[in-house]
Chain A
Amino acid sequence: MLTWLIEHTLLVLPTWFWFLVSGIGAVLYFFSGFIQAIPFAQARLAGYSIKYIGLALLLGGVYLTGSAGVTALWQSEIKEANARVEAAEAKSKETNIVIQKEYVDRIQTVKQIEIQVREKIVKDAARIDAECKIAPEAIADLNAAAMPLKGKK
């Protein structure tokens, strides 16, 4: 959850914001010394508080400046990767069109040959059947060879 929150905060806020936080932290840390020097107990206490708040802002700001840099780097990588994926998808579609066209052409050629052979068989049927009578066993054997597989999906 915290990671998600930081991740999204880093994406929303610009990098300069974390520079600003670090700067404010550094300024607070620097001036806390002056406040501590004021000879009142309350001022000294406030000085201490400001010193630690400033230190926390400085360290947190520096850390998140680095994180923002890394996030920006990753964002750029992601953008490039997405562009590569989009290009690949476009190329994939183009390839599919070419493959599909080749497939349709080849199937058409085969079908044309099938029609020609069929016509030739019809034409030659009288001569083929004149001197040959097929035994039923031959047909049974042929059909057994062409029997579809059981459990075929």
Chain B
Amino acid sequence: MKIAILLLPLLLVGCLNVPVAETFPEVPAELLVACPDLKQVDPATTKLSEVIGVVSDNYGQYKECQIKVDTWVEWYKHQKEIFNNIK
């Protein structure tokens, strides 16, 4: 009985560590930059052209952030597909 107990750990030979290391995929550096805040109009101005300028800049900022989010979604989909194909 004692010998049998001593031999039991031998059964653990089947439990091997699997040294397969997967690294988290890199993200393009541009995507790691946070979107800036929207621009504010100078409260002292009375010119509509200045207001339109700031508003159009903010539209541009929105579009850039929209592209960033779209790219993140695209990046995620591609990386997920690659990850799923490993198995």
Chain A residues engaging chain B, CB cutoff 8 angstroms: 2-3, 6-7, 10, 63, 67, 70-71, 74, 78, 81-82, 84-85, 88-89, 91-93, 95-96, 99-100, 102-104, 106-107, 110-111, 113-114, 117-118, 121-122, 124-125, 128-129, 132-134, 136, 138-140, 142-143, 146-148, 152-153
Contacts and interface: CB of A to CB of B under 8 A. Distances in A.
B45 A134 contact: yes
B78 to A, nearest CB: 5
Given A89-B23, A152-B37, 10 more contacts: A88-B86, A92-B79, A95-B75, A102-B71, A139-B43, A139-B45, A142-B55, A143-B41, A146-B37, A146-B40
A92 to B, nearest CB: 4
Contacts of A121: 49, 52-53, 56
Interface residues of B, number: 54
User: What's the dominant secondary structure at chain B's contact region?
Assistant: helix
Contacts of B78: 92, 95, 99
B8 to A, nearest CB: 10
Interface of B: 9-10, 12-23, 25-28, 30-31, 34, 37-43, 45-49, 51-53, 55-58, 60, 63-64, 67-68, 71, 74-75, 78-79, 82-83, 85-86
A71 B19 CA distance: 13
A6 to B, nearest CB: 5
A75 to B, nearest CB: 9
A147 to B, nearest CB: 8
B48 A132 contact: yes
Given A128-B49, A139-B51, A92 B60 contact: no
A85 B23 CA distance: 9
Nearest to B34: A153
A114 B57 contact: yes
Q: Which 6 A-B pairs have the closest CB atoms?
A: A146-B38, A125-B49, A114-B60, A148-B37, A100-B28, A3-B12
B32 to A, nearest CB: 12
B13 A7 contact: yes
A102 B75 CA distance: 11
A153 to B, nearest CB: 8
